[in-house]
Each structure stands twice: as structure tokens, then as C-alpha cells.
Amino acid sequence: MKISEMGIGRLQISTCLWEEVHLVLHLSFLGILLIHFIQLIVESKCMERKKATPSEIYRIGTKVGLSFSVSMICSIFLMATHLTVTFAQQSRSQAHCNLAFPVLSSEIVQVVSWAVTLLVLYDIKSKCKSKFPWIVRVWWISSFLLSLSQAILDALDILTYLEPLKWKHVADISIFIASACLLGVSIRGKTDIVSDSADDITNPLLTEKDVKNSGGKVDCPYGKASLLQLITFSWLNSLFEVGIKKPLEKDEVPDVYVEDSAAFLAHSFDECLKLVEEQDATSNPSICKAIYVLARKKAAINALFAVISAAASYVGPYLINDFVNFLNEKKSRSLGSGYLLALAFLGAKMVETITQRQWIFGSRLLGLRLRAALISRIYQKGLRLSSKARQSHTSGEIINYMSVDVQRISDFIWYLNTIWMLPIQISLAIYILHINLGLGSLVALAVTMAMMAGNIPLTGIQKGYQSKIMESKDERMKATSEVLRNMKTIKLQAWDDYFREKLESLRSTEYIWLRKSMTLSAVTTFIFWGAPTFISTITFGACVLMGIPLTAGRVLSALATFQMLQDPIFNIPDLLSVIAQGKVSADRIASYLQEDELQADAVNFVPSDQTEFDILIDDGAFNWEAESAVQTLDQINLRVKKGMKVAICGTVGSGKSSLLSCVLGEIPKLSGTVNISGTKAYVPQSPWILSGNVRDNILFGKPYERAKYKRTVEACALVKDFELFSAGDHTEIGERGINMSGGQKQRIQIARAVYQDADIYLLDDPFSAVDAHTGTQLFQECLMGILKEKTILYVTHQVEFLPAADIILVMKNGRISQAGTFEELMQQNIGFEVLVGAHNQALESIVTVEKASREPECATKNEFNTDIDIDHNAEFPHTKQDSEHNLCVEITENEGRLVQEEEREKGSIGKEVYLSYLTTVKGGILVPVILLAQISCQALQIVSNYWMAWACPTGSEEPVVQMSFILLVYILLAVGSSLFVLLRASLVALVGLLTSQKFFSNMLHSILRSPMAFFDSTPTGRILNRVSTDQSVLDMEMAGRIAWCAFSIIQLLGTIAVMSQVAWEVFAIFIPVTAICIWYQQYYIPTARELARLAGVQRAPMLHHFAESLAGAATIRAFNQNDRFMEENLCLVDNHSMPWFHTVSAMEWLSFRLNQLSNFVFAFSLVLLITLPEGVIDPSIAGLAVTYGINLNGQQASVIWTICNAENKMISVERILQYSNLASESPLVVEDCRSPENWPGKGSISFTNLQIRYAEHLPSVLKNITCTFPGRKKVGVVGRTGSGKSTLIQAIFRIIEPMEGTIVIDNVDITKIGLHDLRSKLSIIPQDPTMFEGTVRGNLDPLGRYSDSEIWEALDKCQLGDIMRNKQEKLDSTVVENGENWSAGQKQLFCLGRALLKKSGILVLDEATASVDSATDGIIQKIISQEFNDRTVLTIAHRIYTVIDSDYVLVLSDGRVAEFDTPAKLLEREDSFFSKLIKEHSTRSRSFSSLAMLKN
């Protein structure tokens, strides 16, 4: 009776309270709506004269969708329900609260509110609005929250105060269901109303989505999904139907929704930045604020779902005590109240799982949006960075911003919802504990807060470790990127071991921090698992001391609550860590995005009708390094009229390339004016070739015009190349043009410039990489032919191209020391003649050799076109070996493709991958130990909880044993369980790290020992993806994922054991549901696995394109192609987002279904326990079963989810294993066949029947080469481009292994000895000079073998001594990435310095002086003659005078030995190939010789 009276009193209070709350809310809604309508009326009056739009004129009807229909039905239903309740209250004369105006009772006001809502909905339909107004959506959300609260209060009345079920309760439940439907509609926001137009003319021809999907992509079903499909994720069904039948292909994955596309998000982010910039009145808007503006709407919706999910999750623990009481009082309680209790459990779990899936999916989606927006912005910035900013951010660092830092910001979005959930979770937990334990809840709160506080220092330490891991990873990735980029140099110089040890050393540093981090993670795992036990022990102990009775119901409710507190305790430090990491990453990105960009005013663009000059520079001063006192360029004055040809020459490092850079606006301008009139085209000194086919490189974004394209290709001497390429101009070019010769790359980028049909051409030493004949053809047909009307500035070291210039600029120490025509400069006699004199001497040496052999031939009248050229072309055909690395022939079998699509495994991941991972450390002996520790932990936890449920009384009776003894046993069991957790966590961390380290070591060795063919055909991005992203998965995640698979299964089995021990009948439903879950898993995995693989594969092209764009940023800017490249980047981001988005969606699709099935099992178990007769089961043990059953849905879903997730992550192991078993080169050292210590002494090289081919099925590249190079002689190797010169050099270094024949050096067959023994005894100066980031000393002597005095001596000999002495840091002067702070000529001289230090018995010069002027070339040749006079020197050169004084000359043609003899003997025969090469060169230069005579 007392309880009933309390219930009536509480009911009266709650009724009056809700009466007031409802009145305030509804009157507020009506008031705001009134103001909104007044505003609309005023606006409509002001806009009366506005003409109607075509869609308004021609609209003859509307089609309503599901959302609008649901909103109308629910609103009508709610109005009718409230109206019924109002009449029922009046007819029953129920007591009301004492209101000042009875007519304003809450029910009457609610009827009015819903009637007004219907009017608003009618207005929405009549105006065909696409979205519901914000006021209506807020009203629906508020109504749902009120109805939810009312439903909870009704449940309390029935369960706690034993109120009978009344018609009012039924009405409240009905209102709650209708309000829940409106909540879903309000969150979606769209009305789904479509207007019908009278005429199709009024409709757009293509919608935005049509345009986006016109490229053959599958439209995104997510954008068209109904409300029900969005809740259940059933919009993915069509994708699963495809994926279950066969492995998914890229074009079968639907496109991303328009609002999730990179283009849309990049534009939105730019708008956000502008908004923040305006609000803060700053030129550097805050990135964090812009992210907030972009994400706030979606984040607010996610927060609402997260809060509802958190609140619903505590309904179960709250009701456990009521459930145990019901079982105890079954005789006096009706089954109806028990079933209602089960319904409350089920309803709460349903709400929890639905909202949980939505906020998790929403967070992932928001992370995707931020990632796309930030990557787009980072890429955009990369194309605008100033030279100084570019040097301070290497490519590796910028790629890390894209991958690692952006990912960390996405992770923060995931944890963001924890901020809203934490206070609700803790508050509800303490409230439930307060109901059950009274003051004991304060003890629980204090212990919880203490544990959270204790975790914070650990988080700080972990944050420090994470920062160190990131720093060490940055260093390792930067070094790895550099090694991969320069792999050919490393192999040629025999530096394999040095750089492998360097990378392993950097990895060791990273490993130390990883070990510390994972050890600390094991400790935090111990705290996480031990927290519920620790808190419960202290709380129960305090209750005993305070005399608070501990019944079974209270204990079980408290235990369930403590289990729920596990997440908040663990999430606080995790949240703080993620916030810290996210802030660090946001700051890093912000710092990068605020770096200086190229000066906007560096170059002024003047319309052609306003000036007579295409290029005008007045008193210009420029400097690459702003803080340097010495200016790069000073006192630059230049006026170039339309159509002028301006040649730029000078010694190495004099500022020639910098002069072109100032015209491009690349170099910072200190003072002066630079005016440009017209479009520009630029050919850099170091060729920049895009991955793709040859035609795409030439077109470079321009439309294909057959006639224009044909003229361009002919002028650039590419016709014969195309004829010999397997797929013509559709032949694919490898990364950085790796499968093209230096000459081919240069001609392709010249063709790119010519095809642009620009007004101004800037050519930086375009003829250095081509032979004399090709250089002549290019000069004649390009510069003086197809471009004769264009303005051209060309840098050249070849003096024969100077007389044709209208004006010649001679650079010296950053100034234009001389300017004039060739004749004028020759007469000035103040420096120009030094360059000309060097060329003269070289020419005279050729003439002398010719005279010594025979009388010279009469020159033809035409300087460039000779009969000899025609004959020569016939006898020196272009050949299929037309490439530096001779890989073009390889692509025959692949339809013109050298770089194939990245290999992707298909089908299920093989068992051998799992076995390989699990057995890497100690043969897998520790795996059973880990499993045993988890089983022991789980068993002790169950026993401890079972003990508490059994020992504690169910009612007011005395406990079986003393409470102190109960607690003591509980503590012992709990401590044992926690210790097993610590053991398991420590072993998982240890085994995981050792395994990842072993995998890394195997992969690194495999990659570095791969032949050059692998690096030529594999983009660097693919390799970097594995050593960064995939390796990080192994380092940080893989062990935990695999372990959790086993742990979650053990947990689930424990829960099943407890539930079946109480009521074995639960198996009747559990077994079929489990079978359905397994079927869902099997249905899900094929699709999810292929999506994860596609996501991994699509990541590499994005990174590769980014790295490629950064390398060629200057060229992209010069051609004004920024927009095109940014669009391509957006497409690549979308290509990666597509499979990633659907991977995340598929995971939620599965989780939703598994959660609902688990809820069904739990509900069945509750109904079973309620239905069983009294006395069949112990109420305490039944309560324990419910305590475990609450988490059944989570555990069952967790098993399937962790297995699927582990398989997705196992793809990283699979990808690393792919690169751990690559084909390897020959051994570095063969112990049984070591080369002598002083080998090679004499340096003779003997070729016997040498044949080289790149694969068994391909033709030979070198054919039956048989000749002997005598020791200690100079041998020149000449021949047309593609005749096999570079292949011969690669064969000597065994970059390519002979198929037949032998190469013997000083009686040692080089195929028998180790590669390191061979390559370390040879020296080479390559055509493409390579420098590594670091110092000058480290570049000259990376192995640290030489003293400073020896290094200085080498620098002096290669003409760099004075330059280095002027540097403040001397030998420790900085070398930036790719050596970009040194000119191409200086880099070539540094390579010479390496050779001088090495002092090998054999030196190979492969176009070693192509990038230096004639004077410097002469000095270098003299130094080589002096320093290597007693050594064998092989020289490949396009400048014929560099081989004219050789002891022997080898002429190659079509991969065969055409001639081999002394130059004098070869010149005696007029029909010899060498004679014709000499004649061509001397003929071409004879007119120059006559001009040179004017000097005398």
C-alpha cells in the first residue's frame, strides 16, 4: 500500500512537471514558427515583382517520396492521438494540475502544434522544397526526446511502483514510435519531393551526377537510398550481389556520392578558409577553424546519435536489479510486467545498436571528407611552394602530411564523439550505482576519477613515444625514398650494404620507440581489463564497511555498470592522446600550408598589343637564398623582341639556369621588373617525364591534332623511335622515364614544348643529352624551323649553336658579363673567347687527326644538310635498343605497357599467409601460451562473478558466508584474472613487434637485392606504400587484431557457457542464429576483402602522382597546367575513396545485421527466463546470465567483426610477403671465388661471344660481341643512339647478366665473382648525376674511407675547390634532396670527384661531361688523362672530340661490333663508320671555324 501511495504521489509530481515542460516547448515552437512566417510574408512582399522561374511556370504537379509521406502520416497520427487523449481526459474528469489557463493544457497545445506542423508540410509540398525547414526538424527532434523521456517514466511506474498497464501508457508508446520515425526523417533532412514539368525543355540536359558518372562509373546508391536503406545499410545489397559471384574489379565499385567527392570537398574547404579569413581578418586563416566549419553539421548529427547510443546502453544495467526482483516475486507479479521488462531490454538494445552504427558510420564518412579536402589542399600547396619552402619540405615529408597526418586528423574525428559520450556514460553509471548502492556510488566515482587521472600521465608518456615514432619513421621514409630513387647509382657504386645498414639503423631507432610504446600499451591494457575488477572490489568493500546490504540483484547491476565504465576509463587517456596527436598533425599541416608561395608579382604579364618586347627585365636582382649576402643574379637588364633567338652561355654555376628561372618567376625577386608578353613553354635541363604513354607526354593536356602532332614529332626526330617502339607513341614510359635514353627523354620534352605552340620558349641546355647528328637536326628543324617565328631563350654549352642566335648572353658570377652577336663578342676579347677557344682546340684536334689520315673532304654548301648525313642515316639505322636501360623491348609482350597494374591477389587470403605470420617468431610456440593466458583470465572472471551472484543473498535473508570472506575470494580471483591479462598483453606486444621486425628485414633485403629491371618497372609509390602504410599495420595493429580474434571467441564462448548453464533451451535459438551469422560473414568477406585490396592498390597511384607532380612543379607552372594536375589529383583521391568508403559501409552493413540477431537471441533468453516456472532457476544465477547477455550482441558482432577486420588487415601481410620473395641478383660476395686484392691491375677487358637479352623470349640486344680492350688504354665507344653503348656498360657492371658469352677482366671471369667484388673495383661517372641529401663530404665519401686532405685534393682537381672554400660550412655544406641546390654541371663534377677518390683500375665515363661547358669539359678531359693515365678509361660521348684522342675506338651498330681499332686506322678508310661520324661533326662546325677566324 505504501508503494502504491508513493507511486501515486510521484505520478502526480511527474505529470505536473511534464505538463509544464510540454507547455514551454510547444509554445516556444509556435512562437518561433509565427516569427518565421512573418519573416517569409515580409520577404514575399518585397519580392513580388520578381519573375517566376521556368520551373515554377511549367510545374504541373509533384511526386512525393518516402520521407514526406512518413512525415505526413506520423504528424496526422500524433495529432489524432493527442486529440483522443484530450477527449479521454475530459470524459473521465481526470485531475489536472492547477494551471492559470486550463485551456492551455499540454494536450490541447500539442494538438495545435501538430495541426500547425501539417500546415507547414502542406506549404513544403506546394513549394516543392527539397529539404525540411530547420525549425520543423528541431521540433521533431525535441518531440522525440520528450516522448522517449515519457516512455521511460511510464516504464518506471509499471516496474518500480507496480502500476498496472493503462491506456495512457499505450498512447505514450505509440507517440514514442511515431516520434522515432520523425526523428529519422529530421536527421536525413530531405523531403524526396520531385516536381513534374510540362516540358522537358525546362529540365537540365545533364545533372551534376550525370556529368560525374558519364565516364562509365557506377552511380552511388548511397545518394539515392531511402530512410530505411540508410538505417539498415541495405543500399549496399547490389554491390554484395556482384562481389559474391566473382572478385570485384575497380569499375564495378560505385562512385562516391557527389557531396563526398574530392572536387566538391576541395571547393567547400576553400570556401571555409575564405569564411575564416574574413571573420578573423587575417591572410593566414586557421586550418583548425576551417576544419570545424567544414565538419560541424555532420559532426553535430554524429554527436546526437552517439549521445542516444550511450544513454541507451545503460538501460540494461539499470533494469537488472528489477529483473532479479521480478524473478524473486514471480508469484505476486504478472507475466505481462515481465514481458514488458523484456521489451524494455530489447527496445534499449535496438536503439543502442541502430544509433551506434549510425554514429560510427557518420564518423568514418566525416573522416573521409576531411581527408579528401586536406589532401587536395596539400597537393594544391605543393604546386605553389616557393623554392626556399620546397627545400625545407622534402617529398617524403609532404607525402607524410598526406598520409600519416591527415589520417591522424581523421582518427580524431572518430574519437570526437567520445567527448559527448563520456559525461553521459559516467553520470548514468553513477546514477545507477546510487540507486543500488547509495553512498557506495560516491566511492565508485572517486575510484573511477582516480583511475582516469592515473591514466593521464601514461597518456603523456605514450604521446611522447608516438612523436618519436613519427620522427624516426619520417627519417626512415625519407632515406628509403632517396635510396629507391637512386638505386642505379647505389648498385653501380657498390653501396648496397652501406645503404642497407643505414636503413636498418634508422629502423632500429624506430624499433626502440615502438618497443617502448607497445610495452606501455601492454600496461594500459592491463589497467583497462583490471579497471572493472579494481573499482568493484573497492566499492563493495566500502559498502560492507558502511553497512550497505549487498543483494544479488544490486551486485549484478553494479558489476554490469562497472563493465560499462571500462570504456570511459580507457577512453579518457585515449581521447587525450588522439587530441594531442591530432593537434600536432593539424599544426604540421597548418605550418606547411602557411609556407611561402612563389611571388605573385615576380613576373608581370603584359598584353602583346601594349609592348614590343616579349621579355623585359629592368635592373633585376634575384636570389635563391634570401638570407645569403651574395645574390644569385644581379644587375640583370634584358629586352627580347618577338621572334628573337637568345643564346645563353657561361661556365658551370655562372647563373644560366637561374636566368631562365627568373623569367619563369621561380626565383625570388629582390628588386627590378620582369615583364612577359605571351604564353611560355619550358624545357628543363634534367628531363621531367610523366608516367604514361609517349603521346600523353607530348600532348600534355592539349587536344590531339593529327597534322600538328605529325609536324612536331618529325621536327623532334622521334619518327624512327616510334616506328621501333612496340606500341608506337602509345608505348608506356616508366617512372621518371626510366626506360628511355637520356636523348629520348630530352626529345620528348622538347616535343611537349613545341606542341604547346607557345609564344616564348625557354630551353635549358636541350642538346646536351643527344648526339651530334640529332642535336643538329633539332636545332635546324625545331629552333630554326617550326619555332622560327617564336621567341626563344636557350642555354647551351655547345658553341656551334651560338652563331645562329640574334643575341648571345655570356653569364659570369650571376651577371650578364657580355651581350651581343657572335661577331661582336668575338671582337670584344674579354672572356667569350675562352669558351670559343676551348671548342676551337677540340675542333682542331679532330682536323689534325683527319689530316694525318687523309685529305679532308670538301664541305658541302649547306651547313646542316649533307649527302653524308643521308648515307650515314642509311648505314647507322635506329635500332630497337634505343634506350638507356633497354627496356623498351620488354613492353612488346604487354601491349606497350612497361609498368603494369599493381599485382592484386584475388580470392581468400591463403592459409600460408596466416601461418607465415603466426610462426615467424620461435616457430609459433608462444601462440598457445597467449591463448592459455586469455582462457585462464576469462575463466577466473566468470568464476569471480558467479561467486558473487551465488554467495550474495537475493533478498533480506542472511548471506551464506561472511561478507568479508566473500570479498576476499572475489579479490583473489580478480587479481589472478588481471595478472593473466598482463601476461597476455605483454606476450602479444613482444611477439607482434618481433614478427613485424622480421618481416621488415626480409622485405628490405629482398627489395635491395632485386635487379634493376624490378625498379625500372615498379613505381616508387608501390614500394613506399608497403614500407610505410603496410609496415605500420604490422608494427601497431596486426598482432592486436589477430589476438582479438581469439580473445573475442573465448569471451563469446564464456558468455554462452554462463547463459546455457542457466537455461540450456537458449541453444534452440542460438544455434540457428549463429549459423545465420556465419552465413552473413561468408557472404560479406569476398566483397569486403576485394574492397580492402582495391583501397590498398588505389593508394599508390595517388602518392606516385603527388611525388611526380612535386618533382615537376616548375614545368607544370611554366605550362600553366596547375588546374589540370589538380583535377587529376582529385580523380585519384576519389579512386581511393571509392573502395575505402564502401569498405567502411560494408563493415557497418555486417555489424548492423549481427547486432540485431544478437538482440533477438538476448530477447529470447529473457522471455525464456520469465516464462520458466518459479523454482526452476536460481534468480541470482539468472541475473548473472542477463548480466552477461547484455553484452552478447556486442560480443557476437565482435567475433565476426574482428575476424573480418583481421582478414582485411592481413592483406598488409600478404602485400609485404609479395615483396619479401622477389627475384634476386647474383650474390654480392662468392666466398669460393673472391677477386684479388689489387684487381684489376692492368685493366684489360675481353668480350667473347657476348650476347645480352632482357628475357628468354626477347631478341638479343648485344649480339656476338667479341673484342678485347687492352689494359691501361683509353677506349672510346661511339654509335647512334640505341646502338647498344649503355647496354655494354651495364653488362660490365652486371646490371644485366649475359645470356651467352663471357666478360673477362684481367683473367677473371666477372660472372663468377660476387657483385660487390666486381662493382667496388670499378668506377663510373653516369650520364644522370646523382647526389644524396646530407653533406658534400657524405656525397663524395659515404663510406668514410678518405681523409679531408684527400677530399680537398679531389675537389681541386674537379674544379670545385674554390667554390667549396667560399662556403661557410666547407665540406659539411648542405646538399638538399636530389642535390637541387647545386647546378647540373656541378653535380657532374661531384661525380667526377667520387671517381678521383676511388682510383679504380677501370673508369667508365657515360656522357660524363654533357652538362658542362666546352672549357670545363677540356679541363676535365685533361684531369682524367693525367689522373688515369695508367688506368683503363672507357668513354661514351656525343661530343666527338672527347673520344678522338682515345687509343682505341669501338663503333657499335645494331648491337654488333661495327669497327674496333685506333682512330688513325679507322680514319684511313673513308667508308668507315667512324670516318663518317668525324666528317659529320667537322662539316657541321666548319662554318663556325671560319667565323672563329675573325678573332685573329
pLDDT in tens, 482-523: 898 888 888 888 888 889 999 999 999 999 999 998 888 888
CA distance 742 to 738: 9
Q: Percent of the chain having pLDDT more than 70?
A: 80
Listed residue (748, 824, 754) closest to 789, CA to CA: 754
Q: Give the pLDDT of residue 1003.
A: 92
Q: Which range is least confidently modeled, 44-53, 63-72, 1091-1100?
A: 44-53
Rounded to whole angstroms, the Cα distance separating 1479 from 847 reads 9
* Model pLDDT, residue 571: 67
Top-ranked range on mean pLDDT: pick from 691-695, 1140-1144, 1205-1209: 1140-1144
Predicted local confidence at residue 488, as pLDDT: 86
292, amino acid identity:
Y
Cα 264 from Cα 519, distance rounded (Å): 43
Distance CA 180, CA 74 (A): 10
**What pLDDT was estimated at residue 1019?**
77
Question: What phi and psi, each to the nearest 5 degrees, are found at residue 855?
Answer: -70, 135
Amino acid at residue number 1204? C
**Nearest CA to 751 among 727, 772, 733?**
733
Residue 132 contacts residue 193 (beta carbons within 8 Å): no
Q: Decide if pLDDT at 21 tops 80.
A: no
Specify the pLDDT at position 509. Answer: 92
Q: How far is residue 302's CA from residue 415's CA, in Å, rounded to a whole number?
A: 11
Q: Provide the grid cell at 105.
A: 493544457
For the segment 981-994, the average pLDDT, to the nearest whole number, is: 89
Closest CA to 370 of 334, 335, 333, 416: 416
Q: Rounded distance, CA 1338 to CA 1394, Å?
A: 11
Distance (Å, rounded) from C-alpha 274 to C-alpha 271? 5
Q: The C-alpha cell of 703 is what?
A: 587536344
pLDDT band at 1490 (very low <50, low <70, confident <90, very high): very low
Per-residue pLDDT, 871? 34
209 vs 690: CA distance, rounded Å: 30
pLDDT score for 179: 82
What confidence tier does 887 reach under pLDDT thresholds 50, 70, 90?
Answer: very low
The whole-angstrom separation of Cα 631 and Cα 668 is 11
At residue 259, does pLDDT exceed 80?
A: yes
Helix (H) / strand (E) containing 114: helix 106-126
Instruction: Select, from the ranges 138-152, 431-445, 846-860, 1410-1424, the one with the highest average predicted confidence (pLDDT).
Output: 431-445
Task: Respond yes or no on whether the N-terminal peptide bond of residue 1240 is cis (omega within 30° of 0).
Answer: yes
CA distance linking residue 114 with residue 120, whole number of Å: 10
The confidence band for 1006, taking pLDDT boundaries of 50, 70 and 90, is very high
Query: Per-residue pLDDT averaged across 703-725, rounded?
Result: 85
The DSSP code sequence of 1104-1121 is HHHHHHHHTHHHHHHTT-
How confident is the model at residue 1197, as a pLDDT?
65
For residues 566 and 844, which has the higher predicted lDDT (pLDDT)? 566
The x, y and z cell numbers of residue 143, run together, are 518531440
Find out whether 1386 and 652 touch, Cβ atoms under 8 Å: yes
Average of pLDDT values for 225-248? 85
What grid cell was written down for 506? Answer: 634508422
Q: Which pLDDT score, from 0 to 100, does residue 830 have?
A: 65
What pLDDT, in 10s, does the model give residues 591-607?
888 888 888 888 888 88
178-190 residue pLDDT tens: 888 888 787 777 7
Reported confidence tier of residue 888, pLDDT bands at 50, 70, 90:
very low
Report yes or no: 1426 and 1234 within 8 Å, Cβ to Cβ: no
Q: What percent of the chain has pLDDT over 90?
A: 3
> What pLDDT was estimated at residue 1004?
92
Instruction: Summarize the confidence of residues 10-30 as an average pLDDT.
Output: 59
H or E segment to which residue 1459 belongs? strand 1456-1461
pLDDT of residue 191: 76
Q: Provide mean pLDDT across the span 128-148.
A: 77
Alpha-carbon dihedral of residues 1397, 1400, 1406, 1410, nearest 10 degrees? Answer: 30
Asked whether residue 229 carries a pLDDT value surpassing 60, the answer given is yes
- What is the number of other CB atoms lying within 10 angstroms of the CB of residue 1348? 11
What is the pLDDT averaged over residues 807-833? Answer: 80
The three grid cell numbers given for residue 902, joined into one nine-digit string = 599493381
| 95-104, 331-340, 1205-1214, 1354-1363: least confident range | 95-104
The per-residue pLDDT for 1002 is 92
Q: Give 612 or 283, the one with higher predicted confidence.
A: 612
pLDDT on residue 1388: 79
733 with 903: CB under 8 angstroms? no
Report, as an integer, the average pLDDT of 1322-1334: 83
Confidence grade of residue 1409 (pLDDT, cut at 50, 70, 90): low
Residue 29 banded pLDDT, cuts 50, 70, 90? low
**Left, alpha or beta for 672 (phi > 0: left; psi -120 to 50: alpha)?**
left
CA distances from 1060 to 1063, 1169, 1170 (A): 5, 11, 15
Asked whether 456 and 572 are in contact (CB, 8 A), the reply is yes
More confident residue, 1148 or 220: 1148
| Most confident by average pLDDT, 838-852, 891-905, 1092-1106 | 1092-1106
Q: How confident is the model at residue 1005 (pLDDT cuts 50, 70, 90)?
A: very high
Looking at residues 822-841, what average pLDDT do you find? 66
Which of 755, 753, 735, 733 has its CA nearest to residue 744? 733
Could you tell me the three cell numbers for 1435? 668513354
- 646-682 per-position pLDDT tens digit: 998 887 778 888 888 888 888 888 888 899 988 999 9
pLDDT at 106: 63
What cell was used for 1252? 645480352
Q: How far apart are CA 1228 and CA 1317, in angstroms?
A: 7
- Give the pLDDT confidence score for residue 1112 in this predicted structure: 86
Report pLDDT digits (tens) over 1429-1488: 888 888 887 666 667 778 898 888 878 888 888 888 888 887 787 777 777 666 655 544
Cβ atoms < 10 Å from Cβ of 1403:
25
- β-sheet bridge partners, residue 638: 617
Q: What is the pLDDT of residue 3?
A: 41
Reduce the DSSP state of residue 164 to 3 states and report it: coil
CA distances from 842 to 129, 798, 837, 856, 1363 (A): 83, 12, 9, 17, 26
Q: Which residues contact 200 (CB under 8 A, 6 or more apart)?
A: none
Residues forming a β-bridge with 444: none
CB burial of residue 294 (10 Å; 0-12, 13-18, 19+) = buried
Picking from 1198, 1144, 1217, the residue whose alpha carbon sits closest to that of residue 910 is: 1217
DSSP state of 1433: E
Q: Which pLDDT belongs to residue 91?
A: 52
pLDDT value for 1405: 84
- Check residue 65 and give its pLDDT: 73
Minimum mean pLDDT range among 313-327, 693-707, 873-887: 873-887
Mean pLDDT over 456-481 rounds to 83
Residue 877: pLDDT over 70 = no
The predicted structure's pLDDT at residue 350: 86
Q: Does residue 133 have a cis peptide bond before it, meaning omega lies within 30 degrees of 0?
A: no
The predicted pLDDT at position 1487 comes to 46
User: pLDDT digit string (tens) for 1150-1180?
Assistant: 888 888 887 887 787 778 777 777 666 667 6
DSSP H or E segment with residue 825: helix 822-828
In angstroms, the CA 469 to CA 1079 distance is: 41
Q: How confident is the model at residue 884 (pLDDT cuts 50, 70, 90)?
A: very low
Rounded CA gap, 401 and 591, in Å? 11
DSSP-derived 3-state class of residue 830:
coil
Question: Average model confidence (pLDDT) for the chain?
Answer: 77
Copy the grid coordinates of residue 650: 657561361
Q: Is residue 790 pLDDT above 50, yes or no?
A: yes
